[in-house]
Amino acid sequence: MNDSFEANKRKEYFTKACEKIFEVVHFYEEQYICKEQMLAEYFAWNGDNLSPLYAHYDNCLYVQAELVHEIDVKTDAIKMVEVVEEIINKLHESEKLISPKDIIQIYCQLKCDNEELISLNIYYKTQKKIVCTKADA
């Protein structure tokens, strides 16, 4: 076996280990998806019938207590990524760092602390947002 073969195997092993760690972190950080359901899906084989939702563990109780409902924020997320991309491209020219505040100010079309960013076209593009600030609500 040569070194690059070993290096690739090692890289593959660590990539899979990272994915597993993220799955575990997601499992513990998730607040609203039924944990029993998540475990059942993880261990299910193709064609297995999954049990219906249970309502006796923390997450299911949160959903009931907080009257949680799902909404699709895909368009907001895409817009946010576009904002980040444009800010990075803009600030890259002047070798400045991007801050979360820059992203929020451009995304929410608020007064910008960084005047360079006011020239971005995306700053002026209005679109209906699902994710709102306190000011929008």
Task: Output phi, psi for 31, to 5 deg.
Answer: -110, -20
- Given candidates 34, 83, 87, 117, which one binds Zn ion under the rule CB under 5 A? 34
Q: Are 89 and 96 in contact (CB under 8 A)?
A: no
Measured at the CA of 61, the angle between CA 29 and CA 47, to 5 degrees, comes to: 70
Q: Which of 122, 110, 116, 114 is nearest to 86 (CA)?
A: 122
Q: Does 27 bind Zn ion (CB under 5 A)?
A: no
- Given candidates 13, 22, 27, 54, which one binds Zn ion under the rule CB under 5 A? 54
Q: Does 60 bind Zn ion (CB under 5 A)?
A: yes
Stretch of 19-27, 56-64, 87-95, 108-116 lying at the interface with Zn ion (CB under 5 A) = 56-64
Residues lying near Zn ion in the complex (CB under 5 A) are found at 34, 36, 54, 57, 60
